[in-house]
Structure 1
Amino acid sequence: MDFINIGLIAFPINFLLLLGAMLIGSFVAKRIGRRQNVDVEPLLWRVFIASLIAARLVFVIAYFDMYQNAPLSILNILDGGFSPAAGILAAVAGVIWYAWRVREKRRPLLLAALTGGAAWAVGAVAATAVFAVPVQMPQAELVRLDGSPVQFSSLVGKPMVVNLWATWCPPCIREMPVLRDAQKNNPEVIFVFANQGESADAIQKFLDREGLNLDNVLLDPRIELSSQTQSQGLPTTLFFDAKGALVDRRTGELSAATLAQRIEGIAPRDIDPQLQYERPEKKDEDSAVTHQ
C-alpha cells in the first residue's frame, strides 16, 4: 500500500514521511537556533525545496522523450516522477554548502538535518514493514466481456501490469491512453485492465465512447483484486514479475514516464520457460477480449 487514508482523503506515504521528517527537523532547528540566537529554519526549508526540485529535474531528464510532446506535464508532480537518489544527494550537498558558508549556523543546521534524515529513514523502514506489498499471486476469478470466466493465476509467465479502474473514475479515464500506448509498445509485458465492480454493458459503452482499443479488458465483479492486494483507491496499477510476485504498485494517475519507470522494474530478463502463459482469450476470433 503506497497511500494511507486520513478521513476521506488519501495521502501518499512517501509524502507524509518527507513532510514529517521536515517538520521534525524544523522543530529541532528552532529549538537549537533559539538557544544560540540564530535562525536556521529558512536554510533547512531551502535545502528541502531544492532537493525536491533536483529529484524531479533528474527524473524528467531521464525520461525527457516522454515529456517532450507534452512539456506542461513536467509540472504535474502528482505523477510521482522523482529520482530519490538525486534528491538525497542534493539535500546532503545543500546542508554541507550552508554549513560551510554560514559558520555560526553550522551546528544547529547539521543537528536539524541529521535529526530529520534519521526520522525519515526510521519512518521509511517502518512503513516498509507495516505496508509491505503482498507477494502472493491473487486468487481471483475474472470475467471476459462476453461473460466467460478466466482465472487471474493463469496469466503467470510474463511480467504483468494490472490496472484497477472504473468508468466513473476521472483519473482512470485520463491515464487510459497512456496505458493503451504502453500496451502497444511493450509486447513483452501483458497488460490487464480489470474493471472493479461494473457491468460488461457499461464497460463496452465506455470503450466505444472513448474510442479505446485495448487487449485484456476484464471484469472483477466482486472486486477481489482490490481486496486481495489491499488496494484502497482507484486507479491502482499493480506490477507483477514473471513468477507472479507483486513487486510494485501505484495508486493514482500514471504518466508515460512513471509507467515506463515501473515497467523497467519488471521487464523480462530470464523468464522461466516452465511457466506457462495463457492470454485471457477464447479460441475463436469473435470472443477475444480485445475491444474492437
Structure 2
Amino acid sequence: MIGIGPFSIQAVVVAVAVFLAWVATRSVARMLPNMPRKPAGGLLLDAVFWGFLAARIGYIAQWWQEYSAAPMSMIKISDGGFAWWLGIPAAFAFVWWRTRGGAIILRRPAAAGIIVGVVAWVMANSALSLMLRSAPPMPDLQLATVDQRPVSLSSYSGRPVVVNLWASWCPPCRREMPAFEQAQAEFPDVAFVMINQGETAAQAQSFLEAEGLQLNDVLLDPSSQAMQTLQSRGLPTTLFFDAQGRQVDSHMGEITMPSLKDKISRRFSLSLDAGAKQ
C-alpha cells in the first residue's frame, strides 16, 4: 500500500492539490495589477472548505440509509466519503457568490486556483490507478481456518475478494467487523476474507463469539505474513481484488459501511450495484 507516514496516498494527493491551488491563486493574483494576494489566497481556502463540506454532505445523502443506521459514522471523514461531483461545483459557486460587486477582482485568481487544483488531483489519481493496475496479483498465502484446517488465499480466486487484516486487540478492527458481517450477506458473490494477524485460534474465536459475529471466512495468520506480503502499514487494512486477482483498491484504517459498499459497487462488477444499494 502506498502512503507517507500515517497518511494514505489519497489524503496526500488531496493535500498537494490544495497546496498547488493556493500557489496558483497567489501567482495569478501577483500578475494582475492592484491585486491583493492574501485576500485571493484566503478566498481560495474558504472555497476549499465549503467544497469539502458540500462533498461530504452529498456523500452522506447518497448513502443515507447506511449512515442513518450509524449516525456517528458521518463524522468519520477518514473513510474517504466525498461526492466530488458536488464539492467542486460548490467551490466555484462559493467563489462566484463571494466575489459579487466590488470583490469581483478576486474571482479570476481564485477560479484559476481551483482549476489547477482539480487538474492536479485528476492527474494524480490517474497515475495512482495505473500504478494499482500494475500491482502484484493476490498472493498465494498459506493460512488456516479457526479450526486449524489449512487453506490458501488463492483458493478464493475466480470471484471478487475483499481481504481484511485485523486483530482482536485493535479497536478500529473491532468497530468495523459488523460492517463486514452485513456486507457478506448483501454481496453473496463477493468473498470477504478476514485474516487475523498474529493471534491464536483461541484468541480469534473468543473474540468472534463474544461479539456474536457470524463471518464466513475467518483465517489465521500467526506470523503476520499477510501484512508483510501485502505491504500493510497498520491495522486494520482492507484490500479489494477483482475476479482475476488484480488489486483494484485499498483502504487503511477503519472503514465504514457506506465506504465499504461504495468501493464494492464501483470497483467490482456492475451487477453488484443493485445489491450495494439495498
TM-score normalised by L of structure 1: 0.80
CA contact (8 A) 1:26 1:41 kept: yes
CA contact (8 A) 2:141 2:154 kept: yes
Q: Show the counterpart of 1:80.
A: 80
For these two proteins, the number of residue pairs brought into alignment is 267
d(CA) in 1 for partners of 2:237, 2:137: 17
**Alignment deviations for residues 248-291 of structure 1 (CA, whole Å, 9 cap, x no partner):** 111111111111111213554689xxxxxxxxxxxxxxxxxxxx
Do the aligned partners of residues 127 and 268 (structure 1) sit closer, same or farther apart at CA in structure 2, a change above 3 Å counting?
closer
1:4 aligns with 2:9: no
Within 5 Å, give how 1:5-44 maps onto structure 2: 5-6=4-5, 10-33=6-29, 36-38=34-36, 39-44=39-44
Q: Show the counterpart of 1:238.
A: 239
CA contact (8 A) 2:176 2:256 kept: yes
CA contact (8 A) 1:33 1:40 kept: yes
Q: Show the counterpart of 1:280.
A: none
**Alignment deviations for residues 5-29 of structure 1 (CA, whole Å, 9 cap, x no partner):** 32xxx11222222222222322343
CA contact (8 A) 2:132 2:247 kept: no
86-95 or 126-135, which deviates more: 126-135
CA contact (8 A) 2:159 2:190 kept: yes
d(CA) in 1 for partners of 2:149, 2:25: 62
- Equivalent AA in structure 1 for residue 64 of structure 2: F
3-state SS of paired residue (2:249): strand
CA contact (8 A) 1:189 1:267 kept: no
d(CA) in 2 for partners of 1:52, 1:234: 27
TM-score normalised by L of structure 2: 0.84
Displacement after TM superposition at 1:124 (Å): 3.3
Within 5 Å, give how 1:219-230 maps onto structure 2: 219-230=220-231
Do the aligned partners of residues 188 and 115 (structure 1) sit closer, same or farther apart at CA in structure 2, a change above 3 Å counting?
closer
**Alignment deviations for residues 149-200 of structure 1 (CA, whole Å, 9 cap, x no partner):** 1111111122222111111211001101111122223222221111122211
Displacement after TM superposition at 1:117 (Å): 3.2
d(CA) in 1 for partners of 2:145, 2:187: 22
223-232 or 195-204, which deviates more: 223-232
d(CA) in 1 for partners of 2:121, 2:268: 30
Q: Show the counterpart of 1:275.
A: none
Is there any run of 5+ residues in structure 1 with no aligned partner, and where? 272-292
CA contact (8 A) 1:163 1:235 kept: yes
Q: Percent identity?
A: 37
CA contact (8 A) 2:35 2:105 kept: no
Do the aligned partners of residues 181 and 41 (structure 1) sit closer, same or farther apart at CA in structure 2, a change above 3 Å counting?
same
d(CA) in 1 for partners of 2:264, 2:123: 28
d(CA) in 2 for partners of 1:99, 1:132: 43
Do the aligned partners of residues 93 and 261 (structure 1) sit closer, same or farther apart at CA in structure 2, a change above 3 Å counting?
same
Within 5 Å, give how 1:47-126 maps onto structure 2: 47-98=47-98, 102-126=103-127
3-state SS of paired residue (1:191): strand
**Alignment deviations for residues 214-248 of structure 1 (CA, whole Å, 9 cap, x no partner):** 21110123333333332222111122222322211
Do the aligned partners of residues 191 and 26 (structure 1) sit closer, same or farther apart at CA in structure 2, a change above 3 Å counting?
same
Off by >6 Å, runs of 4+ in structure 1: none
Q: Show the counterpart of 1:203.
A: 204
**Alignment deviations for residues 72-113 of structure 1 (CA, whole Å, 9 cap, x no partner):** 322222222112322233334444555665322233223333
Q: Show the counterpart of 2:166.
A: 165
CA contact (8 A) 1:134 1:229 kept: no
d(CA) in 1 for partners of 2:183, 2:123: 36
Q: CA RMSD in A?
A: 2.6
Is there any run of 5+ residues in structure 2 with no aligned partner, and where? 273-278
d(CA) in 1 for partners of 2:134, 2:256: 22
CA contact (8 A) 2:20 2:117 kept: yes
Higher helix share: 2
3-state SS of paired residue (1:15): helix
Q: Show the counterpart of 2:259.
A: 258
Do the aligned partners of residues 100 and 17 (structure 1) sit closer, same or farther apart at CA in structure 2, a change above 3 Å counting?
farther
CA contact (8 A) 1:58 1:86 kept: yes
d(CA) in 2 for partners of 1:266, 1:104: 43
